[in-house]
Amino acid sequence: MKRILVISDIHGEIEKFEKLLVETQYNAKQDQLILLGDYVDRGSNAKAVIEKVMQLKEEGAFVLKGNHEDMMIKALTTNEEKSWNHWVKRNGGNKTLYSYDFSESDIAVNKEDFEKPVLKSDILENHLKFIQELDHYIETEDYIFVHAGVEPTKPVAESEPYTLMWIRNEFHNGYNGEKTVVFGHTETKTLHGDEENCNVYFGSNRIIGIDGGAVYGGQLNCLELPSQHVYVVKE
């Protein structure tokens, strides 16, 4: 493989995702594509993004699970009101379900007596099975690829999957390992401390954050390794 290309936090932005793959001139036979999770929620076409991700995985891409996939799985495979509301009402899961042609009334619940809606969709079931089987990290000789980060005091192989999908400040401030960690999850403008800066964040402690906040009007970033060249799509 000539290049490693890393993308994270697509959040239903299928047009930006496809433009970015064109911008990078991605070639599955020559490049190793790594996707770090959060394909769904908040954006308008999670269904199309997952379909594209499934295709790319078939062609050789490595695909990881993000915290939004974690929320989606919990909401759709349990009958817990808390999990349902956390995903649908607070984290954009409603937009994901709309992309599968469910309406607002289809996903409405009774506030007095919770009962999860019955959602019939073979495509959704297939996509749910796909995201349930995704890995949580990739470790190579030089890098760790993960959605949110790693526990600073543990080998990544000993970390809890939940932590790998959700951790923030403890990792950002405390990591001091030998391998470079490439991650998404936390918008780079937060890491930069600058609301206008959506560019890839290169930390002094060998952490590289790539979530440009595309679904919030930011940008979708792709990090090329080992060159550390960055490709960007804003619209």
Phi/psi at 180 (5° precision): -75, 130
User: Is the per-residue pLDDT at 111 higher than 80?
Assistant: no
Q: What is the mean pLDDT of the chain?
A: 97
Are 145 and 6 in contact by the 8 Å Cβ rule? The answer is yes
Tokens of 102: 């469910």
pLDDT at 6: 98
pLDDT-derived band at 68 (thresholds 50, 70, 90) equals very high
For the chain, the structural domain boundaries read: 3-68+131-233
Torsion 162-168-173-179 (CA) sign: positive
For residues 24-30, average pLDDT: 97
User: Which among 31, 228, 28 has a CA at the least distance from the CA of 143?
Assistant: 228
Percent residues over pLDDT 90 in the chain: 95
pLDDT at 112: 79
User: Is the per-residue pLDDT at 61 higher than 80?
Assistant: yes
User: Is the per-residue pLDDT at 226 higher than 80?
Assistant: yes
Collapsing DSSP to helix, strand or coil, 138 comes out as strand
DSSP 218: S
In whole angstroms, give the CA distance from residue 153 to residue 207. Answer: 15
Percent helix, strand and coil across the chain, each to the nearest 5: 35, 20, 45
Amino acid at 115: E
User: Judging by DSSP bridges, how do beta strands 220-225 and 3-7 pair with one another?
Assistant: antiparallel
User: Is the per-residue pLDDT at 91 higher than 80?
Assistant: yes
Collapsing DSSP to helix, strand or coil, 182 comes out as strand
pLDDT-derived band at 215 (thresholds 50, 70, 90) equals very high
pTM of the entire structure? Answer: 0.97
For residues 82-102, average pLDDT: 97
CATH for 3-68+131-233 is 3.60.21.10
pLDDT-derived band at 183 (thresholds 50, 70, 90) equals very high
pLDDT at 235: 82
User: Is the per-residue pLDDT at 103 higher than 80?
Assistant: yes
